[in-house]
A = this chain, B = another copy of it.
Amino acid sequence: MSEKITIYDIAKKLNITAATVSRALNNNPKIKESTRELVIKTAASMNYKQNKLALALKSGRSNNIGVIVPRIDSNFFASVIRGIEEELHPHGYQVIICQTHEDPKRENENLYTLIDAQVDGILMSVTDITNENTGAFHYVLEKNVPLIFFDRSKHIDGVSSVTINDFKGGYITTKHLIDEGCKSIAHFSGDQSLEIFKSRFLGYKQALLDNGITFNEEYVIRTKSSVESGKEAVNALLQLKTPPDAIFSSSDFAALGAIQELKDKNISIPKEFCVAGFSNEPFTKFMELSITSVDQSPLEMGKMSARVFLEQVDKTDTIKIEKKVVLAPELHIRKSSSRSTI
């Protein structure tokens, strides 16, 4: 049943050689038009399909690209992947996805596996920037496989990245809270070994300074990206001698947790307390008390990463162009921080 037919089968049928068949199918100009047509026609009639694996082995290119993310079931990463897939699909690339679950070991393992599987490029979001074991990354670079970071990046020579301006995201959000009349603004931060969280924090801090508000170390709390974590954090804040009157959270989930807890304590939002999140998760705009949040345009980020990859691939120049694309964050102001419109 369904035996694989190769260019040899076509060649035998037409009494020509496999090389001619190959050239005919690849539109090589050295082939006479009439034979080309004949080959193409009989190839079709014999239901010939090119063996991609053989081609990959011969050419060394698999037409696969690898994408590594912490996890795929998050709106942000799923959207980025969608962008990547949509941009690369027309170019004949298939997308292989890997998850790290925030584990540097898994990250390394995925990198090695992808390279060993001969992918033509790797697009990834780093899990832990402090991980000094950059062996896997250099393994990628040695093999001359384009490597592109998106969102969570790491400074490595010759590696391009597509990120958003997290500093600005933190800045404009904090500024917005100040403009709404908030006097003491707290901050929920993620793991600051990741540059995105560091930058959001610095943007927050700078906005405070620029507006004459003294920075208070006590107001910065390390949270995880979960509702529960947000609840715990806001409770810690409320037990301070001088609790804040606003929160800029690096996570929409933590922001939601804070809001739920504040409501439980009958603290009115946004009148007494304002909250803003980050990522523009779908639920933030669905809530009755919709949540102000920073949009990271994940779809665009994915497409842009893919485009950077396309520029990079095929450039066999040893002079790698290191491209740094920085997208602009967009603050979506909603009820959780809109005192003016009430």
Q: How far is the CA of A331 from the CA of B113 in the complex (A)?
A: 40
In the assembled complex, A85 has its CB within 8 A of some CB on chain B: yes
Minimum CB–CB distance for A112 against chain B, Å: 8
A81 touches B86 (CB 8 A): no
In the assembled complex, A153 has its CB within 8 A of some CB on chain B: no
**A288's contact among B63, B86, B287, by CB below 8 Å, is which?**
B287
In the assembled complex, A14 has its CB within 8 A of some CB on chain B: no
A96 touches B95 (CB 8 A): yes
Q: How would residues 260 to 275 of chain A score, 1 for a CB under 8 Å from any chain B CB and 0 otherwise?
A: 0001000000000000
**A143's contact among B2, B50, B52, B142, by CB below 8 Å, is which?**
B2
Q: How far is the CA of A202 from the CA of B139 in the complex (A)?
A: 56
B1 touches A142 (CB 8 A): yes
Name the segment of A25-33, A68-76, A204-212, A240-248 touching the other chain.
A68-76
How many identical subunits does the complex contain?
2
Minimum CB–CB distance for A290 against chain B, Å: 11
A72 touches B64 (CB 8 A): no
Minimum CB–CB distance for A139 against chain B, Å: 9
Q: How far is the CA of A2 from the CA of B118 in the complex (A)?
A: 14
Q: How far is the CA of A95 from the CA of B96 in the complex (A)?
A: 5
Q: How far is the CA of A263 from the CA of B95 in the complex (A)?
A: 43
**Which A residues have a C-beta under 8 Å from some C-beta of B?**
1-2, 49-54, 56-57, 60, 62-64, 71-75, 78-79, 81-82, 85-86, 89, 94-99, 113-118, 142-144, 227, 256, 263, 282-283, 286-289, 299
- 14 A-B pairs, CB-CB below 8 angstroms? A2-B142, A52-B117, A57-B57, A73-B78, A73-B299, A82-B99, A94-B114, A94-B117, A96-B96, A96-B97, A256-B286, A282-B282, A283-B287, A287-B288
